[in-house]
Amino acid sequence: MKPLYRNVFLAIGVVAIIIMLCTSDLSYSELWDNVRRAGYWFPAVILLWVFLYLANAWSWSVIIHDGAAPKVPFLKIYKYTISGYALNYVTPVGLLGGEPYRIMELTPYVGAAKATSSVILYAMMHIFSHFCFWTFSILLYLWLYGREMSAGMAVFMLVCSVFCGTGIYFFQKGYKNGLAMKALRLLAHIPGLKSRLRRFIDTREESIRKVDSQIAALHAQRKSTFYLSLFIEFAVRVAGCLEIQFILLILTDHVSFWDCVLIQAFTSLFANLFFFIPMGMGAREGGFALAVGGLSLAGAYGVYTGLIIRLRELVWTAVGLLLIKLGNKSA
């Protein structure tokens, strides 16, 4: 990638972080008091994501190489994974910063078509794993609390089940038939993008169809790669719930790991409904408060958990943005 493009991505991230810090309602003294209250659990939360991002990079590497000899050094994939997520955190709607960055960084190694298809496939796998995780959590909730479930919660579970089932169905269709061409044609109906995208489709139709064929081939012909990547991403979703347990151990020792899975699942589901907000500002904290309230825990636990996770995200976003400028000479 040209240094100019890296500088643009870096500038977008830095400006977004500055805006979020300046518009935050919390003072720096309050933030520091909460970090001190967390004690050694805050470094534990930060360290946990070293391994979670490592697993994310492994999942993406499985897709990139698909059983072939490695063409991209794993440390580079690890770096692009962290930086890509950092850019996604600070851009509205997500995927608008991290995915183009990853494609541009990967292209010199594997070519534009392979870079594009692998990034799209990994993004699809990442989102698909969320639907699988939410479905798992619905079944977990019914197993743990189904007998004492209220009528209101039963309706909520039904709505969530329909939402997850619909999402899984459309992802399966996307994997079988490809997604790039359909997505571009759908976006071409948006006013202002119509003429530009149609020209892009006309000039790059062969390349787009090649990307779609690679997406469909992974699901149809290389199922071991597909399911290994999906399993890793799903495992990351479950292991990531340790973060919530680490934080809640500061406040109480009466929350099980499976309760933390439910809190994470319903919080992430709530936050993703407000995907258009950079870093889900406010939505994540509200989701935590509702989730812990549904498990008969104090709502303040959810607010505190959301705050510590927000601080962790800021730390790793800063690390990811810094990595954009580091280690590029040998690429």
pTM value is 0.80
Torsion sign (Cα): 267, 236, 309, 38: positive
Q: Predicted confidence band at 19 (pLDDT cuts at 50, 70, 90)?
A: low
Place of tokens 């995780």: 133
Q: In whole angstroms, how far apart are CA 233 and each of 125, 130, 196, 198?
A: 7, 9, 35, 34
Residues comprising the chain, all counted: 331
Q: What confidence score (pLDDT) does residue 278 get?
A: 47
Is the pLDDT at 153 greater than 70? The verdict is: yes
Question: Given pLDDT bands bounded at 50, 70 and 90, which one contains residue 241?
Answer: very high
Angle between helices 112-145 and 41-65 (to 10 degrees): 130
Pick the most confident of 120-124, 177-181, 196-200, 279-283. Answer: 120-124
